Structure 1
Amino acid sequence: MKPLDPRLLRYARGTRTYLAATVALGVLLAVLIVGQATLLAHGITAVFLDGADVRALTPTLVALAAVVALRAAVAWAQEATAARSSAAVKRELRGRLLAHLAALGPGRGPDTGAATTLITRGLDALDAYFARYLPQLVLAVLVPAVVLARMLPADLTATVTIVLTLPLIPVFMALVGLHTEAANRRQFRLLTRLSHHFLDVVAGLTTLKIFGRAGAQAANIRRVSAEQRRLTMRTLRVAFLSSLVLELLATLSVALVAVGVGLRLVSGHLDLSTALLVLILAPEAYLPLRQVGAHYHASAEGLAAAEDAFAILETPLPAAGTGPVPRGTIVFDDVVVRYRGRVALRLTATVEPGEIVALTGPSGCGKSTALDVLLGFVTPHHGRVTVGGVDLTTVDPAAWRTGVAWMPQRPYLFAGTIRENIALGHGTAATPPLPPGRDVVAAARSAGVDSFAAALPDGYDTVLGDDGAGLSAGQRQRVALARAFLRDAPVVLLDEPTANLDTATADDVMAAIRHLAHGRTVILAAHRPELIALADRVIDLTAQPVLVSVS
């Protein structure tokens, strides 16, 4: 069972203020518990031994009511502080995670499904950690200390009994917590795998239906879901049983104190007021520790998610240069990229300014990887890429990418209007607003977007769903091409721009590419002969020389 992870203090500054408030409220609550017990013992003794009436007990009852009200106020303040702190920590962690994943770039972080599950459901589980576990952890230290300090001058025997039995609860909590933490971690890992698998299935549902494999994938999802349900129930069973163990241990410890107090009270070695004080305070000494164990199970998933978040945040960023953006000949100098132990790309090539070069070869030969290397998304294991004689590793990657227009094989369109999707990135801190003369509609016309935008209900202001829902594959490709036209970059990278398009749509897209390529350096990954025919030169990646110097 783990206390506060110190990395939370490093990555979430709001945690520090929250911890200070929690300690202050915990001390106040411990004092109120002792005050309530003292008032109750005094009032009950006054009634049974001294025969006090209501008038004589009025000051005690008023003080008791005030203490109870203050305890309720402190409990509310803890809940409110925890909720605010949890929201602030989640917001800060999410922001840091998204920024770090963006800085890592494609292929260096976790899978999309895993990252999505972590940033949404995973970090949401931190609510239980901040709202329940951490406050109770502070109370588990403060309340027993204050209670024992009050009991020590009143009854040494009961105090020693509690001191000897109190450590048994943390010991059993630690033993149970080790098993529970492992179970919760397995459950979160399985949930992450299920999310990623489901995302892949949804993304490729059309292809699966065409080849008749949708039913098999549905069976796989049912199987993984059943395993997730079984593991969740097992984790809940462990949580309930561990809570039972802690409750039984605390109950036996309180009973041991109560038996000793009763025997000494009957024998006359203890007065009624002290006996009542000890009997009221003894359960309060054990209660915070019991609740720590109970709340730990609710927070275990959040702790597992936080550790995954810290693992991402501690992943070192790729080395980035700070030099100015060069212009000129692009040279792939003995570039080798490995992926999972095999060579994913081997390339030695030169691309002159204004040249159109097609990278060809079968799927998996490294065409997309070559573009990723040029974009700085992938670091070569051997060799280097230079532009105008300047090594790209010495250049500021963000500045370099502002001069590159990139169209991936399956461009992503965000929920928003067609106009917003074409102008994506302009007007942000990374990309300045469009200069005069650069118009979204003009770029859309050059890419052929106007051929279908005019027929839409709101034209360029038509709102699309996620991933361009509402447009066909060819229309999405042309919107992505319009982005490239609007960017007006000297270097254009196109990754299979006519993939999955029918012949007529592909012809329209290639006409737009021919227009876009005029006066620019273009590197395109291509399969189609008619797309390859647009190039001035063709580089077959399967015919690249074998480098003896690379093991």
Structure 2
Amino acid sequence: MSGGRVSGISEVTRKASPTLAIAVALAAVAAVLLVLQMGLLAQLVDDLAFKGLSINADARPFVGFLCVALMRGCVQWVSDMAGEVAGQRAVTLFRQEMIRHVFRVGPVGLQGMETGRLATSLTDGVAAFQPYIAQYIPRAAAMVVLPLLILAVVAGLDGWSFLILAVTGPLIPVFMALVGYSAQSLMDRQWTRLLLLGASFLDAVQGLTTLRLFGRAQESVKMVQSMAEAHRLATMRVMRVAFLTSAVLEFFSSLAVALVAIVLGSRLLSGHVDFYTAFFVLLLAPEYFAPLRNFSASYHARQNALSAMDGLMAFMRLPELCVDRGKNPHQATTGAPEKLIFNDVSAGYGQGPNVLCGISFTAHRGTITAVTGASGSGKTTLLRVLLGVMPVRAGGIVAVDSTGNHIAAQNWRIGWVPQSPCLLNGTIRDNLHLANPDIDDAGLRSVAALAGVLSFIDALPDGLDTVVGDRGTALSGGEIRRLALARALMNAPDILVFDEPTADLDATNATMIAAAIKPLAAGRIVIAVSHRPDIINQADQVLHLPKGVIQSHEIQRAVA
């Protein structure tokens, strides 16, 4: 699991490798400028304090020190900014890739994922890579470059100081590694609790009405509160380890710097080392440990990214079920499909048996095809295959125009009216624009009239600007269903698909929906899954689907 997490993070990091390489290279340049700056400062102090020189007599060390300090500040700032840009770019590209994966997996593949856990992973989980790339990686590089550079300089100045730094320096990474193993388990538990908290909170909000009806709202609140408290305690445990680690590292580095200072002081007093050398080494000693301290301060970013990768890996392993029909397109035409042919279509879920077993039928333009069957017989699977949200195991679906040419699947214009339509928390205009953002109000009203919903919209005080609420809470079931029908018609579909269009509706709304469907079949292929007589009686052919097979290939004419 750890290897998979590391490889996953490496894949994310590669998305910003050019900019990240610039950040690391500039950090190395800043390290060289730092050593040069300390050397000039030591030379300046030595000239002023022991050689009796003034700044006016020789301003070169002072001017050089100021120029190098300014250059180092600018280079370090550009390096930090490049790291931030690299982190933001990697996070943006990775989140886009994850969102594309959501659409490729589709609703069938996501059925086993908790919505709250998925949302937390795609937001906070992906955002956890920003500090890892922007801070951890540049500081890890600086931890290697600057200490080695300082060791090389100190080795040429004073052997005892080199020995002290060479022995004490590696103790800090070793100690960090030992602490990191225990801290990683704490971070994993903290992240798991965050995912559970996000999933439970979203479930509680979505099921608030049901919880209140059964008198369990307070229990749900207490459960979320308990999980939030557990996450807080886990976070505090991680923070305690981080603070303790920082304190111990500060102690070791301060002790090592003090040891260098004592040795240099005694040797300076005995005349075994000159002031310039002693002061230069003493200036470099804290800078030798600074990258190690900075690295330890950002080490939690790596642990957080590793923990976040677990949830993302579970999501990335989901199979991509949505069919990319554009990979092997048929000969594309500009004509509308004259018929839709199902050729021995078989489909199923996961490793289970086929739900559809060799389905074959033809739906013609200008007709309504009704599909009936008991619950679990494969009606929803048939629609999912048609909509392309799950692949077929055998057979295929072909659209043919009036000249007999196949129409590429990516050129199919399909309108979809689900059994439980989802309206966004916006206006009616916003929801209708989802299907066709470029349509004007005149076009909206024309389509709304075609769907039989214009009179309802005009009766509202704000008309198209009426806010429907989250999931259409301000509207009735029939009004939601009719708006969903209008939205499906916005892109002038050639194929119109319904899933139980009149289910759970009262007689009045069911009659209005059924009456609106009949004229829509003119110039379109209409396929409706339904067990209600108001839809079946409108159909030109009725296909019964018991246990995944068409009962009869003969067309059964509905009786008006």
Which TM bucket (shorter chain)?
0.7 to 0.9
Q: Which residue pairs with 1:511 in the alignment?
A: 515
Does residue 537 (structure 1) correspond to residue 538 (structure 2)? The answer is no
Residues 472-529 of structure 1: per-residue CA shift (max 9 Å, x gap):
3332211111133344434332223334544433332233234434565444344656
Contact in 2 for aligned 1:140/1:288 (Cα 8 Å): yes
Q: Which residue pairs with 2:81 in the alignment?
A: 80
Q: Which residue pairs with 1:208 in the alignment?
A: 211
Contact in 2 for aligned 1:344/1:365 (Cα 8 Å): no
Equivalence map 1:268-287=2 (5 Å): 268-287=271-290
Equivalence map 1:103-122=2 (5 Å): 103-109=104-110, 111-122=114-125
**Cα separation, 1, equivalents of 2:505 and 2:201:** 25
Q: Which residue pairs with 1:172 in the alignment?
A: 175
Contact in 1 for aligned 2:355/2:547 (Cα 8 Å): no
Q: Which residue pairs with 2:371 in the alignment?
A: 358
Alpha-carbon distance change, 395 to 92 in structure 1, aligned in 2, over 3 angstroms: farther
Shift of 1:215: 3.4
Q: Which residue pairs with 2:403 in the alignment?
A: none
Per the normalisation by structure 2, the TM-score is 0.81
3-state DSSP of counterpart to 1:108 = helix
Residue 372 of structure 1, aligned match among 380, 384, 393 = 384
Contact in 1 for aligned 2:83/2:134 (Cα 8 Å): yes
Q: Which residue pairs with 2:448 in the alignment?
A: 444
**Cα separation, 2, equivalents of 1:266 and 1:357:** 101
Contact in 1 for aligned 2:435/2:490 (Cα 8 Å): no
3-state DSSP of counterpart to 1:489 = coil
Equivalence map 1:29-178=2 (5 Å): 29-52=30-53, 55=56, 58-109=59-110, 111-178=114-181
Q: Which amino acid aligns with 1:335?
A: S
Alpha-carbon distance change, 71 to 288 in structure 1, aligned in 2, over 3 angstroms: same
Shift of 1:154: 0.6
Q: Which residue pairs with 1:549 in the alignment?
A: none
3-state DSSP of counterpart to 1:356 = strand
3-state DSSP of counterpart to 2:108 = coil
Q: Which residue pairs with 1:218 in the alignment?
A: 221
Shift of 1:246: 2.6
Could you say what the CA RMSD is over the residues aligned between the two structures, in angstroms?
A: 3.7
Q: Which residue pairs with 1:476 in the alignment?
A: 480
Shift of 1:316: 6.3
**Cα separation, 1, equivalents of 2:407 and 2:196:** 37
**Cα separation, 2, equivalents of 1:85 and 1:237:** 30
Residues 78-114 of structure 1: per-residue CA shift (max 9 Å, x gap):
3333333333333322323222322332233554433
Residue 496 of structure 2, aligned match among 467, 480, 492 = 492
Alpha-carbon distance change, 87 to 266 in structure 1, aligned in 2, over 3 angstroms: same
Alpha-carbon distance change, 86 to 212 in structure 1, aligned in 2, over 3 angstroms: same
Alpha-carbon distance change, 185 to 518 in structure 1, aligned in 2, over 3 angstroms: farther
**Cα separation, 1, equivalents of 2:7 and 2:283:** 28
3-state DSSP of counterpart to 1:409 = coil
Shift of 1:285: 1.1
3-state DSSP of counterpart to 2:107 = coil
**Cα separation, 2, equivalents of 1:203 and 1:501:** 22
**Cα separation, 2, equivalents of 1:417 and 1:485:** 18
3-state DSSP of counterpart to 1:492 = strand
3-state DSSP of counterpart to 1:268 = coil
Shift of 1:16: 2.8
Q: Which residue pairs with 2:294 in the alignment?
A: 291
**Cα separation, 2, equivalents of 1:367 and 1:124:** 40
Alpha-carbon distance change, 457 to 120 in structure 1, aligned in 2, over 3 angstroms: farther
**Cα separation, 1, equivalents of 2:260 and 2:191:** 41
Alpha-carbon distance change, 532 to 317 in structure 1, aligned in 2, over 3 angstroms: same
**Cα separation, 2, equivalents of 1:220 and 1:473:** 32
Residue 421 of structure 1, aligned match among 423, 431, 438 = 431
Shift of 1:284: 0.8
**Cα separation, 2, equivalents of 1:348 and 1:183:** 52
**Cα separation, 2, equivalents of 1:122 and 1:80:** 22
Alpha-carbon distance change, 97 to 496 in structure 1, aligned in 2, over 3 angstroms: same
Contact in 1 for aligned 2:510/2:534 (Cα 8 Å): no
Per the normalisation by structure 1, the TM-score is 0.82
Alpha-carbon distance change, 189 to 501 in structure 1, aligned in 2, over 3 angstroms: farther
Q: Which residue pairs with 1:548 in the alignment?
A: none
Contact in 2 for aligned 1:358/1:524 (Cα 8 Å): yes
Q: Which runs of 5+ in 2 are unaligned?
A: 401-405, 551-560
**Cα separation, 1, equivalents of 2:216 and 2:543:** 36
Contact in 2 for aligned 1:449/1:482 (Cα 8 Å): yes
Shift of 1:334: 6.7
Does residue 345 (structure 1) correspond to residue 355 (structure 2)? The answer is yes
Higher mean C-alpha deviation, range 170-179 or range 416-425: 416-425
Equivalence map 1:287-436=2 (5 Å): 287-305=290-308, 317-318=320-321, 320=324, 321-324=327-330, 328=339, 330-331=341-342, 333=344, 335-338=346-349, 345-347=355-357, 349-353=359-363, 354-362=367-375, 366-380=378-392, 382-387=393-398, 397-399=409-411, 402-414=412-424, 417-426=427-436
Contact in 2 for aligned 1:335/1:345 (Cα 8 Å): yes
Alpha-carbon distance change, 374 to 159 in structure 1, aligned in 2, over 3 angstroms: same
**Cα separation, 1, equivalents of 2:448 and 2:8:** 53
3-state DSSP of counterpart to 1:107 = helix
**Cα separation, 2, equivalents of 1:450 and 1:69:** 68
Q: Which amino acid aligns with 1:132?
A: Q
Q: Which runs of 5+ in 1 are unaligned?
A: 428-432, 546-551
Q: Which residue pairs with 1:183 in the alignment?
A: 186
Contact in 1 for aligned 2:347/2:381 (Cα 8 Å): no
Contact in 2 for aligned 1:415/1:465 (Cα 8 Å): yes
Equivalence map 1:5-44=2 (5 Å): 5-10=9-14, 12=15, 15-44=16-45
